[in-house]
């Protein structure tokens, strides 16, 4: 009887871990959906960045606000938003140098 209870608990723990890992993967997919890639055409201090002529507001206190001073106009970057790029309320929460995945 003790062995059955132990195996049930182990199964439950494995199941809960799988759910936790699955939800993390789902969250990563959602965040990846709010990415804009383009060339920096202007930087407004740490409050805004213009990518291919479109101004995006940088969320105050975000990692993007800390990273932005390291970038300059002309660089191609990936900008991560907290919402869809089609919504003016979306803010930049992350920025990184774009790396090509095509090997070019």
pLDDT digits 0-9 by tens, 49-99:
999 999 999 999 999 999 999 999 999 999 999 999 998 899 999 999 998
> Model-level pTM?
0.65
Domain tally, the chain = 2
**Domain extent at residue 74:** 35-97
pLDDT tier at 30, thresholds 50, 70, 90: very low
Paired tokens of 92: 């930049």
pLDDT tier at 100, thresholds 50, 70, 90: confident
Longest dimension (CA), the chain: 69
- Are 39 and 5 found together in one domain? no
CATH classification at residue 63: 2.40.50
Residue range 4-8: mean pLDDT, rounded: 52
Q: Are 92 and 58 in contact (CB under 8 A)?
A: yes
Per the domain annotation, does 41 fall within a domain? yes
**Phi then psi dihedrals of residue 6, to 5 deg:** -65, -40
């Amino acid at each position: 009887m003790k062995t059955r209870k132990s195996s049930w608990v182990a199964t439950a723990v494995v199941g809960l871990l799988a759910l936790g890992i699955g939800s993390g993967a789902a969250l990563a997919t959602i965040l990846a959906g709010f990415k804009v890639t383009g060339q920096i055409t202007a930087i407004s201090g740490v409050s805004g960045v213009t990518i291919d002529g479109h101004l995006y507001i940088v969320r105050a206190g975000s990692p993007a606000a800390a990273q932005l001073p390291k970038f300059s106009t002309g660089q191609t970057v990936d900008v991560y938003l907290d919402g869809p790029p089609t919504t003016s309320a979306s803010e930049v929460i992350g920025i990184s140098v774009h790396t090509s995945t095509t090997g070019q």
